[in-house]
Amino acid sequence: MNLRTVSLRRRVAVSVLLVLFVVLVALVISVDRTFAGQSSRDVDGALRDAEARAVSALRLGVPPREIVRQLSKRNVQVTVELPNGTVIGNAPEEGPFERKSRNVNGNKLTFYADTEAISQAQVRLRKLLLMLGLGAIVITGLLMIVVVRRALAPLDAMTSLAQAIAAGHRGGRLNPSRTDTELGRTAAAFDGMLDSLEGSEQRTRRFVADAAHELRTPITGVQAVAEALVQAPVDSPDRDQMSFLLVREARRAGRLVDDLLALAQLDAGYEMQREPVDLLGLAEAEVARTRYVAPDFDIAVEAVEGASVVVVGDGQRLAQVLANLVDNARQATGPSGVVRIRVDLTGFTVSDDGPGVPLAERERIFDRLVRLDDARDRRSGGSGLGLAIARAVVRAHGGELSCEPSEGGAVFRVTLPVVGGASVG
Instruction: Using alpha carbons, select from 53, 55, 111, 48 the residue that is nearest to residue 78.
Output: 111
Question: In terms of DSSP bridges, do strands 298-303 and 338-344 run parallel, antiparallel, or are they unpaired?
Answer: parallel
How far apart CA 23 and CA 50 sit, in angstroms, is 40
The counts of H helices and E strands in the chain are 10, 12
**Using one digit for the tens of pLDDT, what is the confidence trace for 197-217?**
776 767 677 667 767 766 776
Helix (H, G, I), strand (E, B) or coil at 175: coil
**Using one digit for the tens of pLDDT, what is the confidence trace for 65-108?**
888 888 777 678 888 888 887 888 777 766 677 778 888 777 78
Listing DSSP states for 291-333 in one string gives HHHSTT-EEEEEEGGGEEEEEEE-HHHHHHHHHHHHHHHHHHH
Contact 157, 173 (CB under 8 A): no
CB atoms within 10 A of CB 400: 13
The per-residue pLDDT of the chain, averaged, comes to 80
What top-level class would CATH report for the domain 8-151? alpha beta
Instruction: Please give the backbone phi and psi of residue 48, each rounded to the nearest 5 degrees, phi first.
Output: -65, -40
Provide the CATH topology of domain 275-423: Heat Shock Protein 90 (3.30.565)
**Using one digit for the tens of pLDDT, what is the confidence trace for 336-374?**
899 999 998 889 999 999 888 888 888 888 887 776 654
CA-angle at 349, arms to 348 and 353, nearest 5°: 160
User: What pLDDT score was predicted for residue 341?
Assistant: 94
Domain residue spans of the chain: 8-151, 199-267, 275-423
Helix (H, G, I), strand (E, B) or coil at 79: strand
Q: Determine what percent of the chain is predicted with pLDDT higher than 70.
A: 87
Pick the CATH number of 199-267 from 2.60.120.380, 3.30.565.10, 1.10.10.10, 1.10.287.130: 1.10.287.130
Q: Which amino acid is at 204?
A: T
